[in-house]
């Protein structure tokens, strides 16, 4: 058998291939985490509603979200927060800063949090100071009772539900339909009766034993008084300790969101949907 012999030196004569020079990519740099904000909370004054909120440009991080993200709530209040400051933002908007703990667990910029039943977007937060900031549009101030709040006011807070959340209350969108006025508060045992007056445009959607969200709290209507434009509900002792409604006085306003199902039914009836089914 013939054995082929060859020398490795023969390969040295083969020209080495040339390759294009690789481009060295510089890794991107990232800004500090959004929760790293160190401006202290100053003692609120009576002029805080009209003064712009001071920001440190070196440590301040915020963002604005143009599109509204639709979320869902249950009306089961997670905690009561405290308003720390309200004022005009640098971009001309109106900001509200709230002290809270529970709703900040796992929070991200752009998340939705219901404040007294009003769905608002987290524009900035600070987990070290346990506070977050939301922006208020002019229409929000006109439509809700948030305009009555001030530094030190307490508010109901609830995060939007997740697919794994338990539906303990009812479907609450956080889209306040209007406001009502507390006209009476009467204790019975350790429970509390509260009567609220509202406009006829909302009262038509309120039915006895039906759902209603009052300042974001899912409640059951007991009676409807059409001649008084009023409805009432009862708060048990446990609920009184977890929400802000009992802290309000007669004459103060509450945010109201009626059951969305009633509005859908009305829409279908007005559109002639039922009649079209009967005729088909």
Catalytic, out of 118, 121, 198, 218: 121
Q: Residue 121: helix, strand or coil by DSSP?
A: strand
Evaluate whether 270 touches 202 at the Cβ level (below 8 Å).
Answer: no
Q: Would the CA dihedral through 36, 39, 44, 45 be positive or negative?
A: negative
Tokens representing 91 are 């971009």
For this structure, is 137 an active site residue? yes
Catalytic, out of 35, 89, 130, 175: 175
CA distance 64 to 124: 9
Nearest to 102 by CA among 72, 145, 132, 75: 132
Catalytic, out of 38, 42, 137, 165: 137
Catalytic, out of 119, 123, 213, 230: 119
Evaluate whether 179 touches 147 at the Cβ level (below 8 Å).
Answer: no
For this structure, is 31 an active site residue? no
H helix or E strand, kind and range, residue 273: helix 273-279
For this structure, is 133 an active site residue? no
For this structure, is 237 an active site residue? no
Catalytic, out of 38, 220, 237, 273: 220
CA distance 190 to 225: 24
Tokens representing 206 are 């309120």
For this structure, is 220 an active site residue? yes
Residues 6 or more apart whose Cβ sits within 8 Å of residue 116: 144, 145, 146, 155, 156, 215, 216, 244, 255
CA distance 198 to 226: 10
Catalytic, out of 48, 74, 112, 239: 112
DSSP-assigned states of every residue in 131-190: EEEEEE-HHHHHHSSGGG--TT-EEEEEEPP-TTS---S--B-S---EEEEEEEEEEETT
Evaluate whether 38 touches 100 at the Cβ level (below 8 Å).
Answer: no
Q: Look at the block and give the residue holding tokens 């991080």.
A: 61
Q: Tell me which residues are annotated as active site.
A: 73, 112, 119, 121, 137, 175, 220
């Amino acid at each position: 058998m013939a054995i082929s012999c060859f020398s490795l030196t023969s390969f040295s004569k083969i020209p080495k291939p040339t390759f294009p020079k690789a481009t060295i990519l510089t890794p991107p740099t990232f800004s500090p985490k959004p929760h790293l904000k160190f401006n202290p909370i100053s003692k609120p004054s009576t002029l805080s509603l009209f003064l712009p909120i001071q920001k440190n440009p070196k440590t301040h991080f915020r963002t604005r979200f143009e599109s509204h993200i639709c979320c869902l709530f249950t009306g089961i209040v997670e905690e009561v927060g405290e308003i720390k400051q309200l004022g005009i933002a640098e971009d001309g908007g109106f900001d509200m800063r709230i002290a809270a703990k529970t709703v900040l667990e796992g929070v991200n910029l752009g998340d939705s949090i219901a404040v007294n039943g009003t769905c608002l977007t987290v524009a900035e937060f600070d987990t070290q100071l346990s506070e977050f900031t939301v922006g208020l549009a002019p229409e929000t101030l006109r439509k809700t009772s948030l305009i009555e709040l001030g530094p030190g006011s307490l508010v109901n807070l609830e995060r939007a539900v997740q697919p794994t959340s338990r539906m303990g209350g009812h479907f609450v969108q956080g889209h306040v339909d209007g406001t009502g006025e507390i006209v009476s508060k009467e204790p019975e045992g350790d429970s509390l009766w509260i009567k609220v007056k509202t406009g006829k445009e909302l009262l038509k959607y309120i039915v006895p034993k039906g759902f209603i969200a009052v300042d974001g709290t899912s409640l059951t209507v007991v009676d409807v008084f059409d001649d008084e434009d009023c409805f009432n509900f009862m708060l048990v002792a446990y609920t009184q300790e977890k929400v802000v409604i009992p802290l309000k006085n007669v004459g103060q306003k509450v945010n109201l969101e009626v059951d969305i199902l009633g509005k859908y039914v009305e829409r279908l009836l007005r559109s002639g949907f039922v009649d079209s089914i009967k005729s088909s």
